[in-house]
């Protein structure tokens, strides 16, 4: 861990979700993290983002680690598995609750759709309608009774109140967002509305656990695909609310198939295991994703 003196050791992480096999896009992300860590003498961590216990499977995790080993990735062990750390996320959620920033939300998907059909209803950067905040007005006793009744619910962030606590936030982008955004950027979490922090059966969400883990693991550099660029605004907000250090961000281009489509975990021909089983070694994989085949050496 970090000492009290001196600069923090640069720490990178590759954080796949074990809900399917890796493809070339994951290989690019993992190798880029490894190259950037190597070029500054930094650490490389791997984290299994397996909070969705229905979709994530140990067999996928084992296959992912085998692929990373075959790629020659030198990462630290043990690998952190998010499903083993729900208490850490519960603690962060409790802190946000104690700040009065969390409310239970009961609308089903169909109800959200029905409530947001107006053409000018605002949408988040992924194109989903912002959550109608109706349940914010539920009296506390009624909200508690409904939660206890067994119906499904999500715990959502009171976005406007959260932002009014932190004021305007910024983050450092050394790669580029989808529109080339880079440098000292302004976070725009309001574009996401009242994001989900946890669900009835899962005490966390992607946003909450990624922020908690990056801080707990001392991650200084988040290197990931540009499809997660917009989510960074939410991450920056949660870091500020929870008093956590913000890493530096580097969003990278996405690897696409011959037709220019984003790769998916079910595409057989860009599956990493299949390519390597067919004889592609680490250098060929590097070549296919446009990375130099000679690994950079530490620059002191």
Which spans of this chain sit near ligand GLU (rule: CB under 6 A)? 15-17, 49, 210, 224, 228
Question: Of the two residues 60 and 153, which places its CB atom closer to ligand GLU in the complex?
Answer: 60
Cβ-contact 13, 222 below 8 angstroms: yes
For the chain, first and last CA: distance in Å? 20
Q: How far is the CB of 13 from ligand GLU (least distance, A)?
A: 7
User: Which helix or strand (DSSP H or E) is residue 213 part of?
Assistant: helix 206-216
Residue pair 21/66 in contact by the 8 Å Cβ criterion: no
DSSP state of 227: G
CB of residue 236 to ligand GLU, shortest distance in Å: 13
Residue 15 vs 157, nearer CB to ligand GLU: 15
Phi and psi at residue 233, to the nearest 5°? -60, -40
Phi (first) and psi of residue 276, to 5 degrees = -75, -35
Q: Catalytic pick from 118, 200, 262, 265?
A: 265
Closest distance of CB 82 from ligand GLU, Å? 9
At closest approach, how far in Å is the CB of 103 from ligand GLU?
Answer: 25
Phi-psi region at 154: left, alpha or beta (left = phi > 0; alpha = psi -120 to 50):
beta
Q: How far is CA 42 from CA 2, 76, 77, 251, 299, in A?
A: 12, 11, 15, 18, 11
In the complex with ligand GLU, which residue's Cβ is closer, 88 or 135?
Answer: 88
Which residues on adjacent β-strands are paired with residue 185?
Answer: 171
Residue closer to ligand GLU by CB (options 108, 264) is 264
Q: Which is nearer to ligand GLU, 224 or 236 (CB)?
A: 224
Q: Least distance (Å) from ligand GLU to the CB of residue 201? A: 19
Q: How far is the CB of 70 from ligand GLU (least distance, A)?
A: 19
Which stretch of DSSP H or E encloses residue 27? helix 24-39
Rounded CA-CA distance 146/152 in Å is 9
Pairing assessment for the beta strands 248-252 and 221-225 based on DSSP bridges: parallel
CA distance 253 to 260: 12
Choose between 15 and 107: whose C-beta lies nearer to ligand GLU: 15
**Alpha-carbon Rg for the chain in angstroms:** 20
Which phi and psi (to 5°) does residue 224 adopt?
-155, 175
- 262 catalytic, yes or no? no
Q: What is the Cα–Cα distance from 277 to 270, expressed in whole angstroms?
A: 12
Catalytic residues: 265
């Amino acid at each position: 861990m970090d000492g009290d003196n001196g600069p923090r050791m640069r720490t990178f992480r590759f954080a796949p979700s074990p809900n399917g096999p890796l493809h070339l896009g994951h290989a690019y992300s993992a190798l880029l993290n490894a190259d950037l860590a190597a070029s500054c003498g930094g650490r490389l961590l791997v984290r299994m983002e397996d909070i969705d216990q229905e979709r994530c499977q140990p067999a996928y995790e084992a296959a992912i680690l085998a692929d990373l080993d075959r790629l020659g990735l030198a990462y630290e062990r043990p690998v952190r598995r998010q499903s083993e750390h729900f208490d850490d996320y519960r603690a962060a959620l409790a802190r946000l609750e104690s700040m009065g920033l969390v409310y239970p939300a009961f609308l089903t998907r169909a109800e959200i759709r029905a409530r947001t059909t107006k053409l000018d209803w605002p949408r988040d950067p992924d194109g989903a309608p912002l959550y109608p905040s109706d349940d914010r007005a539920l009296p506390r006793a009624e909200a508690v009774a409904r939660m206890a009744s067994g119906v499904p619910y999500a715990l959502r962030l009171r976005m406007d109140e959260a932002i009014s606590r932190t004021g305007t936030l910024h983050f450092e982008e050394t790669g580029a967002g989808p529109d080339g955004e880079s440098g000292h950027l302004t976070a725009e979490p309001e574009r996401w509305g009242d994001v989900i922090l946890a669900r009835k059966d899962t005490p966390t969400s992607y946003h909450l656990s990624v922020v908690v883990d990056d801080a707990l693991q001392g991650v200084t550099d988040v290197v990931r695909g540009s499809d997660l660029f917009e989510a960074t605004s939410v991450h920056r907000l949660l870091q500020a609310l929870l008093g956590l250090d913000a890493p530096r961000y580097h969003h990278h281009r996405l690897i696409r198939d011959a037709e220019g489509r984003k790769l998916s975990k079910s595409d057989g021909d860009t599956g990493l295991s299949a390519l390597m089983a067919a004889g592609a070694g680490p250098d060929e994989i590097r070549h296919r994703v446009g990375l130099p085949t000679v690994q950079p050496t530490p620059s002191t």
